[in-house]
Amino acid sequence: MPRVADHEARQGQITDAVQRLIVRDGLAAVTVARTAAEAGVSVGLVQHYFTAKDEMLLATFTHVNGQFAARVDALVNQGEAEGRTIAAMLRQALAELVPLDASRRSEFLVRRAFADQAAHNARLAEVQRATLAGIRSRVARAIGNGTECGEVDRGVDAAEQALRIVAFTEGLALHTHIDPDGTPEPTVLAALDEQIGRVFRGTCRRAERRR
């Protein structure tokens, strides 16, 4: 067990270094040598865990996605414990994709760098497609749950609406990145609320019973 933990810690140390390089200097700055220097380890150690730059990028992207998923899971668990609506929990989850603070800006830059690289790399592109499909699937599941509890009208196409909501959120994230002064957080969250509110138009029957 300690060996596994040490292995994961070393990989995390390296992927954290890759993320810092991307955020500070851009994707072109990521080399094995610069990653080793940033992580404070030897080139040989980096090569022991990652034999190519693409593998480091994949691991870093996976790490960033894992951070996002963990935060969303925590928000959902908290929201369920507090009895929040599905729409409110969905808004909180989607806001994690928007670069509204330093940590989310860092993750956004990694996702953007990954997207640029994926345009010329089939392996990275496949991971990117799978990641996006996973996000849309989670949103579609939230819409389905909303239908069951009464927040969403019967007959709504969950997959279609998930596509629209996620695409809107990604566009909002890009605008926030390009023009942070023109996209203050209250405006961003209000825009998310309006978009989600087009689908989540009802009141959950559980909330009505609690009254």
User: Residue 206: its pLDDT value, please?
Assistant: 62
CATH code of residue 2: 1.10.10
CATH number of the domain within which 87 lies:
1.10.357.10
Orientation of helix 53-82 relative to helix 86-95, angle to 10°: 150
- If asked whether residues 145 and 67 sit together in one domain, one would say yes
Q: Are 127 and 156 in a shared domain?
A: yes
Q: What percent of the chain has pLDDT over 70?
A: 95
91: pLDDT strictly greater than 90: yes
Three-class secondary structure of residue 203 per DSSP: coil
87, 146 in Cβ contact below 8 A? yes
How many C-beta atoms surround the C-beta of residue 76 within 10 A? 18
Domain termination residue (choose one: 9, 24, 51): 51
Same domain, 16 and 69: no
pLDDT, residue 207, reads: 55
Q: Are residues 22 and 111 in the same domain?
A: no
Q: Does residue 28 sit in the same domain as residue 112?
A: no
Residues 6 and 107 in one domain: no
Same domain, 46 and 116: no
pLDDT score of 1 more than 50 = no
Do 128 and 141 fall into the same domain? yes
Expressed as residue numbers, the domain containing 110 is 53-210
Predicted pLDDT at 154: 95
Same domain? 87 vs 184: yes
CA angle 41, 43, 45 (to 5 degrees): 65
Q: Which pLDDT does position 182 carry in this prediction?
A: 95
pLDDT exceeds 50 at position 130 = yes
Q: Considering the chain, what percentage of its residues have pLDDT values greater than 90?
A: 68
- Are residues 133 and 63 part of one domain? yes
How many other C-beta atoms can be found within 10 angstroms of the C-beta atom of residue 114?
Answer: 23
Q: What φ, ψ does residue 44 adopt, rounded to 5°? A: -60, -35
Number of structural domains (the chain) is: 2
Higher per-residue confidence, 204 vs 203: 203
Tokens 């849309």 sit on residue: 136
pLDDT averaged over every residue in the chain = 90
Average pLDDT rounded to a whole number, residues 187-206: 92
- How much is the average pLDDT of 122-137? 90
Half-sphere exposure of 177 (CA within 13 A, CB side): 20
Stretch 149-161: mean pLDDT:
96
Q: Across residues 44-58, what is the average pLDDT?
A: 88
Residues 57 and 149 reside in one and the same domain: yes
Rounded CA-CA distance 152/203 in Å is: 8
Residue 154 identity (one-letter amino acid)? R
Whose tokens are 């345009």? That residue is: 119
Pair 32, 87 in one domain: no
